[in-house]
Amino acid sequence: MKEIACLIFFCLPFLSLHAHDHAEVGKNPTNPNQLGFYGPAVQLALYVPIGEFFSGYTPNFPGGSFADELAFTSEVNILQEATGSDPEVELVAVTGPAGGSFFFWETDARIPTWARPTGWTQTSTDRPSFEVMVGGNGHVHGRAFSVNHPGEYQVVFRVRDRNNRYAMSQNYTVLIRALTPPPLSIRIENGQAIVGFSSRLNLVYDLEICTDLDGGVWNLAEPYTFMDGTGQRMECAIPIDHHRAFFRLIEYK
């Protein structure tokens, strides 16, 4: 909190909004009798505060952890369709920070569908999974993955065909980087509040302002919207025309 000339300003933590990537499940391009993956090797998991909006596809996500939305799909563009298959993705292993856990949230889930701690490896009696084609739909939205501590997680998947027309895939590893929200700063200069933060390359930022947290409304602090992160420090100058103001930044892909 910073108080100058009876003006009070607060900077609140970052929030996140999200766009998702796709991981294709189809024929292995080097072995047409085997299933394979094509998708991103790295995902960012941004911190979502409890009760804050994460994604329009996952309205029930409660927040309070680092979240990511990665859609596994049998609707392929790079791979060839594995005709006649019924793919199911299995979790193989999770590594990451001590005390960390990896969580899977099925569409419309209000609590994690399943979770496994770092250091876990699949066994014959413990093989958490999820189907790719739900009700014949091979492109399912609303699923989320989350982790509970910041740091880097290696999550290993593989896919098998429940119709047994294709051999099980090779392992597909996704590096999940759970990023701690960078701190915000504020100072008063020439009758303006200067809100500063260290931006991250390839992420986007909106600055919001609220003058009353008890039932007040958050509004975009124009013109500081759709700001592309550069990896450098960014500062936003806001004229002081309120007795009290709260600022927060929305960070999203």
* Alpha-carbon span 157 to 87, nearest angstrom: 12
Q: Please write the tens of the pLDDT for every residue from 169-192.
A: 999 999 999 998 777 888 989 888
Mean pLDDT score of the chain:
89
Of 160, 179, 198, the last residue of a domain is 179
* The pLDDT of residue 191: 86
Residue 174 and residue 59 share a domain: yes
* The pLDDT of residue 130: 97
Average pLDDT score over residue span 71-91:
96
The answer to whether residue 12 is domain-embedded is: no
Distance between alpha carbon 45 and the CA centroid of its chain, in Å? Answer: 4
Residue whose C-alpha is closest to residue 197's, from 10, 58, 15, 14 = 14
* The pLDDT of residue 244: 82
Least confident of 148-152, 155-159, 177-181, 249-253: 249-253
Rounded to two decimals, the pTM is 0.84
CATH of the domain at 202: 2.60.40
Least confident of 14-18, 24-28, 231-235: 14-18
* Alpha-carbon span 139 to 146, nearest angstrom: 20
Q: Which two tokens stand for residue 45?
A: 């998991």
- 51 secondary structure, DSSP code: T
The answer to whether residue 247 is domain-embedded is: yes
**Domain that includes residue 103, residue range:** 18-179
Domain count of the fold of the chain? 2
Of 121, 147, 179, the last residue of a domain is 179
Residue 142 and residue 192 share a domain: no
Sign of the CA dihedral 154, 19, 26, 126?
positive
Q: Measured in Å, how far apart are the chain's first and last C-alpha atoms?
A: 29
Quick check: 165 pLDDT over 90?
yes
Residue 122 and residue 79 share a domain: yes
Buried b / exposed e along 145-156 (16+ C-beta atoms within 10 A): bbbbbbbebebb
Q: Please write the tens of the pLDDT for every residue from 108-151.
A: 999 999 999 999 999 999 999 999 999 888 989 999 999 999 99
Quick check: 235 pLDDT over 90?
yes
Average pLDDT score over residue span 193-210:
90
Residue 189 and residue 173 share a domain: no
